[in-house]
């Protein structure tokens, strides 16, 4: 976070403070999800990892769709925001291929990839994001990006190394998790830069925070469902 300029509007600053709280709360929720608790307690297995990738895959594939839909929903007065979102979509819309290669490297079978549909949490998350992205000028999705990008950083900073310990680094099956480190830092910087721009009224701030909360809850549900599947 070094070197970032301060937000100029008080509203954007308050919104960022709320987003930080929502993120910290979400991190605690993640710690209570069984598969993540196993990862953090050192009880995670290779099966857990393959399962995690299988279940994340659908969401990563759909991720490319809601972000592009979101970009196209910004009208002319938000062309600068649209520009940032398009760039973001371009960077990520084929991420699922990296994830699939990791799954195979982790000992997964390619047919499993196609057999695994969206779990209940992924259904809800995807449906919500597509619904919001279809609204005109969906500034609230900045809250969704905040959460999803934060997750990318968390994977790289906390999860990837722990998975490596279970799988062995020689398997090179954590490229997806590691790779988010560089890219997502860049994305978070960009999000930060457009906070002042998108957070102009109290309604904007409330909508951004609400969407961030919903995304966090549904993402956690998606991970909880891995153990229910």
Partner 1 sequence: MNVFINSTGHYLPGEPIDNDNIERILGLVNGKPSRLKSKILQANGIRTRHYAIDESHTTTISNAQMAAQAGEDCLAKVGFNKRKLGMLSAATSQGDFVLPGFGSMVQAELQLPDIELQTSHGICSSSMMALKTAYTFLKSGEHDSALVIASELSSRLFKASRYEAASNVVDFNAEFLRWMLSDGAGALLLETQPRKNSLRIDWIRGFSHADAYPVCMTVGQPRTGSAQKSWQDYPTYAEAEADGALLIRQDVRLLDNIVKLGVDGYLRLMDEKQLNVNDIDHVLCHYSSDHFRSKIFDMLDHAGMMIPEERWYTNLYERGNTGCASIFIMLDEFLRTQTYHPGEKILCMVPESGRFNNVYMQLTVVES
Helices 160-167, 175-198: inter-axial angle, 10-degree rounding: 170
16-19: long-range contacts, CB 8 A cutoff, minimum separation 24 = 16/192, 16/195, 18/205, 18/209, 19/143, 19/146, 19/208, 19/209, 19/212
115 binds partner 1, rule: CB under 8 A: no
> x/- string (CB under 8 A) for partner 1, residues 22-51?
--xx-xxx-xx----x--xxxx--------
> x/- string (CB under 8 A) for partner 1, residues 124-163?
---------------------------------xx--xx-
Q: Which is nearer to partner 1, 24 or 131 (CB)?
A: 24
76 binds partner 1, rule: CB under 8 A: no
6 binds partner 1, rule: CB under 8 A: yes
* Binding footprint of partner 1 on the chain (CB under 8 A): 1-2, 4, 6-7, 10, 13, 16-17, 20-21, 24-25, 27-29, 31-32, 37, 40-43, 157-158, 161-162, 192
């Amino acid at each position: 976070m070094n070197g970032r300029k301060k937000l100029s509007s008080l509203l954007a600053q308050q919104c960022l403070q709320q987003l930080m709280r929502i993120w910290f709360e979400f991190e605690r929720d993640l710690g209570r999800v069984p598969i993540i608790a196993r990862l953090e307690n050192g009880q995670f297995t290779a099966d857990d990892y393959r399962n995690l990738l299988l279940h994340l895959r659908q969401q990563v594939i759909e991720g490319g769709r809601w972000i592009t839909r979101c970009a196209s929903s910004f009208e002319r007065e938000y062309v600068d925001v649209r520009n940032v979102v398009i760039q973001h979509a371009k960077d990520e819309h084929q991420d699922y291929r990296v994830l699939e290669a990791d799954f195979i490297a982790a000992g997964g079978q390619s047919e499993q990839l196609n057999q695994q549909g969206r779990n209940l949490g992924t259904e809800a998350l995807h449906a919500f994001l597509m619904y919001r992205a279809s609204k005109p000028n969906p500034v609230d999705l900045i809250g969704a990006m905040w959460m999803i990008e934060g997750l990318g950083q968390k994977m790289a900073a906390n999860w990837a190394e722990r998975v490596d310990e279970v799988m062995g680094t020689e398997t090179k099956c954590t490229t997806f998790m590691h790779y988010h480190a560089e890219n997502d830092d860049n994305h978070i910087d960009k999000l930060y830069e457009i906070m002042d721009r998108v957070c102009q009224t109290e309604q904007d701030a409330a909508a951004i925070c609400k969407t961030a909360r919903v995304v966090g809850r549904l993402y956690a549900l998606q991970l909880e469902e891995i153990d229910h599947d």
